[in-house]
Amino acid sequence: MAQLQLKNLYKQYRNKKSKQQNDFAVNDFSLTCNDGEFVGILGPSGCGKTTTLRMIAGLEEITKGEIFIGDTKVNDIHPKDRQIGLAFEDYALYPPLNVYDNIAFNLRAKKISEQKIHEQITQIAPLLKVDDLLDSRPVGLSGGQKQRVNIARAIIRKPKLLLLDEPLSHLDGKMRQVLRTEIKRLHKEINCTTIIVTHDQLEAMSLADKIAIMKDGKLQQFGTPLEVYDDPANEFVAGFIGEPPMNLMTVKISKNMDEFFFDFPKSEVKISVPQRYHSVIVDGMTVKLGVRPMDVLIGDKTSKGSRVHVAVFENLGEERKISVRVGDEFLTLTTAEEIRLKHGDIIRLQVKAEKTHLFDVETGQRIRATD
């Protein structure tokens, strides 16, 4: 295993597939993944995740910037000499070969002895639960089994770095969950520095020690799952992480006597602004207010919360998801309470003011409170 460092990495494609000639698919991307760490690169389709991974693997030319694996700058090192294990979303197994021969393929190409290959496969196969499948051919395997073989093939050479590109995206929901847990267990056992590329925030949140969130080729935030969830750097991260997503609503600050309020346009909803924001707001200012659905509560009849109409009520088994109309926008809340509501019912909204986040309406950057 080894540390991975990306230093001011850029990628510009110069062919028709790029949206614009001057667009950078990866734009000034820097990141350090420590020895043995599991890092997720997360972002929407087209944000540059795979391009970044392919540059690390040496499969894509770097326009500008540097990549270090350990102390070695690998920009000009051939992919096969970078000591990287790769598993992409499509399994790319050789159909005529059985599982054993598929896993052995790259070792044989390196002229490793059959005895050594046998020893390594015997060690790796149980870790990925493919020991019973060694005689099977890929055509008879499920998607989950194929991906296990694929990952076994990637780690058999004991790489310094394991790169996984959307390894679970072809699998159905249940199998994704199972394999997600197994990848996490595998990482703990082999302790190999690992990068996973995914557009699935749940996958990144549950697997990775740290998450790099990308948008339009640029790094938006790099932090632990808790940091990106609780302390988002900007509106994009706030809206991207969390399911259901954070409510992000445009509100105006008003002042009455010494008290500040968030006023929701075209509605009577008013929330008292927590003291910690007082030094960063002014009367009349417009801001984006972010609050997670679980931080909006339903007040009882005696509460001071604003009255709002229920637009949609969904019973999701373990929790209830309620969408209420606030002016021209909808605000979502979730609750574990055993309540039943219907369209048109009136509830009282109580927002946990201490859990709110503020963002600049122009730049989307976080407006930080002074604690």
Could you tell me the sign of the dihedral formed by the alpha carbons of 73, 75, 80, 85, in that order? positive
Among 51, 201, 220, 334, binds ligand ATP (CB under 6 A): 51
- Judged by CB under 6 A, the stretch of 40-48, 126-134, 150-158, 343-351 that binds ligand ATP is 40-48
Please work out the total of residues on this chain that contact ligand ATP, with binding judged by CB under 6 A: 15
- Judged by CB under 6 A, the stretch of 14-22, 238-246, 250-258, 359-367 that binds ligand ATP is 14-22
| Contact call for residue 48 and ligand ATP (CB under 6 A) | yes
| Contact call for residue 370 and ligand ATP (CB under 6 A) | no
Cα separation, 293 vs 333, whole angstroms: 4
| Contact call for residue 218 and ligand ATP (CB under 6 A) | no
| Contact call for residue 20 and ligand ATP (CB under 6 A) | no
| Contact call for residue 15 and ligand ATP (CB under 6 A) | yes
Quick check: helix, strand or coil at residue 149? helix
| Contact call for residue 17 and ligand ATP (CB under 6 A) | yes
The answer to whether 37 and 12 have CB atoms below 8 angstroms apart is: no
Cα separation, 111 vs 108, whole angstroms: 5
Backbone angles phi, psi at 247, to 5 degrees: -70, 130
| Contact call for residue 59 and ligand ATP (CB under 6 A) | no
Among 36, 46, 244, 245, binds ligand ATP (CB under 6 A): 46
Cα separation, 333 vs 355, whole angstroms: 13
| Contact call for residue 43 and ligand ATP (CB under 6 A) | yes
| Contact call for residue 13 and ligand ATP (CB under 6 A) | yes
Among 2, 25, 253, 333, binds ligand ATP (CB under 6 A): 25
| Contact call for residue 19 and ligand ATP (CB under 6 A) | yes
Q: Considering the complex, what minimum distance in angstroms separates the CB of residue 25 from ligand ATP?
A: 3
Burial call 64-96: b when 16+ CB within 10 Å, e when fewer = ebebbbbeeebeeeeeeebbbbbbbbebebeee
Quick check: helix, strand or coil at residue 91? coil
The answer to whether 102 and 138 have CB atoms below 8 angstroms apart is: yes
| Contact call for residue 22 and ligand ATP (CB under 6 A) | no
Q: For the chain, give percent helix, strand, coil, nearest 5.
A: 25, 35, 40
**Residue linked to tokens 């001057």:** 22
Element (H, E) at 32: strand 26-33
Q: Considering the complex, what minimum distance in angstroms separates the CB of residue 232 from ligand ATP?
A: 20
Q: Considering the complex, what minimum distance in angstroms separates the CB of residue 4 from ligand ATP?
A: 18
| Contact call for residue 121 and ligand ATP (CB under 6 A) | no
Which is nearer to ligand ATP, 214 or 333 (by Cβ)?
A: 214
Q: Considering the complex, what minimum distance in angstroms separates the CB of residue 229 from ligand ATP?
A: 21
H helix intervals, 231-348: 235-240
Among 27, 50, 221, 332, binds ligand ATP (CB under 6 A): 50
> N- to C-terminal Cα distance for the chain?
40
Residues at the site binding ligand ATP, with contacts judged by CB under 6 A = 13, 15, 17-19, 25, 43, 45-51, 199
